[in-house]
Each structure stands twice: as C-alpha cells, then as structure tokens.
Amino acid sequence: MMMIYGGYQFEGPFTDMGRLRSDPGVFLVLTAAGDGDWSFIEAGESENIRESVALADTSVWTEKNRGLVGIAVLYDLGSARTRQAIKQAVQDGMVPPQA
C-alpha cells in the first residue's frame, strides 16, 4: 500500500514491524481505530529505520494510539540533511490526534 504525505509517497503503513527494512529514510508513526483512517503521531528519520523504530521511545505512540499503530516509510538513499528536510516538511503539515 502506498500513501501520500506532504507530497511524498510512503510505503505502508506497516503494523508488522518485521516488514521494515534496515535502510535509511523517513518514517511516519500513524494510528487508526481499525477503520483504515490513519492519523499522524510523529515523524522520524534514520540511517536504519528498522533499528530506530525498534529502539524508539513509544510512550507518545501509546498515548495517541487509537487502536492500531503503523509505520509508513520513505526509503531514501540521500543525505541525512535531505532526510531531515523531508521529515520536517511532512511533520509541519500534519496534525497529531488528540489524546
């Protein structure tokens, strides 16, 4: 499944974290009530998305969780600066759900 966020095409969201690759990129943490209507929680960027998600402080995810948490990813082989710019652009346009 592909989703557009901030003008960028992301893969996912994946609820099975084992499907994430150990590649660089930008990731979005999303939540849904089971109806497929995903809401934004937060964004991140990493040299290794799988590791970053596995080691993340998930307290905000738990607080904002509406039932399902999924990770949408944009694998990017560019520089850390490029990933940070994409993360910021997407994050600036998203509104987290209210707890």
Angle, alpha carbons 33-56-10 (nearest 5°): 60
pLDDT digits (tens, 9 = 90+) for 6-41: 888 999 999 999 999 999 999 999 999 877 789 999
Bridge partner residues of 8 (DSSP): 5
* Residue 74 near residue 9 (C-beta atoms within 8 A): yes
SS3 26: strand
pTM of the model: 0.89
Write down the domain spans for the chain.
35-99
